[in-house]
């Protein structure tokens, strides 16, 4: 069953999503080569709890961290570790919070200062595809419209769309129906109705679309070990169009003020 939200419920989800966005911005302010995943994970947990919320991922199905931290060929679900980030790493960070009985969810891929222009283009394209998907999400349309927009945009640039992992509904549960694939056909899938709240999260690979699970039992990696990027917004569907509940402008501003990570022009 798909749970449609009232305007009041959407505002509560927005509060949780904005906390996630500010948490990612805090992470962006301290991220640099030599930092470890465990360090930023502890910082993120403290930030969320200081704002009287609970980390949305920690303990979820046994996951040990506040953040999913997936460097380079890591697609999603990476466990925070003591590995230090390197000069040429990209780092996908997914964060969730639970506030006022509702979950928030958002993700962003960061670039260390030595990341090549080729890999930066993957990040830019993946981020742009997120907004293509959001633009395609309209009341009266279908879920397949979203995936079609993401897939056609990224494949035209010779990137691959991960198939095994998808976006999702969100609310009082972190993962609700419907699933929101990053591929598909226009006019297919569940109908989009007013009050639907979903997380759209393109996961785009530089090489093949195939993925595998690492030995840690959590991290999903690209099969060919080439880089993958991941960006995510939670949105609410309203009569006049999609309403983005998370806000990457906090993150972009933090990147601009941190000379230790690469500053590129990204949308809000």
Give me the pLDDT at residue 265, please.
Answer: 59
Q: Is 238 exposed, middle or buried (0-12, 13-18, 19+ CB in 10 A)?
A: middle
Is this structure's pTM higher than 0.75? yes
Collapsing DSSP to helix, strand or coil, 17 comes out as: helix
Give me the pLDDT at residue 210, please.
Answer: 98
> Distance between terminal CA atoms of the chain?
32
How far apart CA 78 and CA 240 sit, in angstroms, is 37
Segments of the chain scoring below 50 in pLDDT:
267-268
Give me the pLDDT at residue 263, please.
Answer: 79
33 Cβ contact partners less than 8 Å away, ≥ 6 residues apart: 84, 85, 86, 87, 89, 112, 113, 114, 260
Give me the pLDDT at residue 266, please.
Answer: 56
R_g of the chain computed on alpha carbons: 17
The residue assigned the tokens 């293509």 is 132
How far apart CA 61 and CA 110 sit, in angstroms, is 26
Residues 239 and 194 sit within 8 Å (Cβ to Cβ): yes
71 Cβ contact partners less than 8 Å away, ≥ 6 residues apart: 78, 83, 85, 89, 90, 91, 92
Give me the pLDDT at residue 13, please.
Answer: 98
Find the helix packing angle between 7-30 and 37-50, rounded to 10°.
Answer: 140
- Domains, in order of start, for the chain: 7-256 (3.90.230.10)
């Amino acid at each position: 069953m798909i749970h449609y939200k009232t305007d009041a419920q959407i505002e509560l989800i927005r509060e949780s999503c904005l906390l996630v966005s500010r948490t990612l911005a805090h992470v962006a302010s301290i991220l640099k080569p030599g930092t470890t995943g465990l360090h930023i994970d502890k910082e993120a947990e403290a930030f969320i709890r200081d704002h009287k919320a609970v980390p949305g991922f920690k303990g979820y199905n046994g996951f040990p961290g506040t953040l999913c931290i997936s460097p380079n060929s890591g697609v999603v679900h990476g466990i925070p570790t003591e590995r230090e980030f390197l000069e040429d790493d990209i780092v996908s960070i997914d964060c969730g919070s639970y506030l006022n009985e509702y979950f928030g969810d958002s993700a962003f891929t960061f670039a260390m200062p030595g990341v090549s222009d080729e890999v930066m283009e993957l990040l830019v394209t993946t981020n742009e595809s997120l907004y293509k998907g959001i633009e395609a999400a309209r009341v009266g349309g279908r879920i397949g419209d979203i995936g079609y927009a993401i897939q056609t945009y990224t494949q035209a640039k010779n990137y691959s769309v991960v198939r095994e992992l998808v976006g999702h509904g969100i609310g009082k549960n972190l993962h609700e129906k419907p699933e929101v694939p990053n591929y598909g056909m226009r006019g297919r899938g569940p109908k989009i109705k007013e009050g639907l709240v979903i997380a759209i999260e393109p996961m785009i690979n530089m090489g093949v679309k195939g993925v595998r699970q690492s030995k840690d039992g959590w991290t999903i990696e690209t099969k060919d070990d080439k880089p993958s990027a991941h960006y995510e917004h939670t949105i609410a569907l309203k009569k006049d169009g999609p309403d983005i509940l998370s806000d990457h402008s906090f993150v972009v501003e933090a990147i601009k003020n941190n000379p230790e990570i690469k500053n590129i022009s990204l949308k809000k």
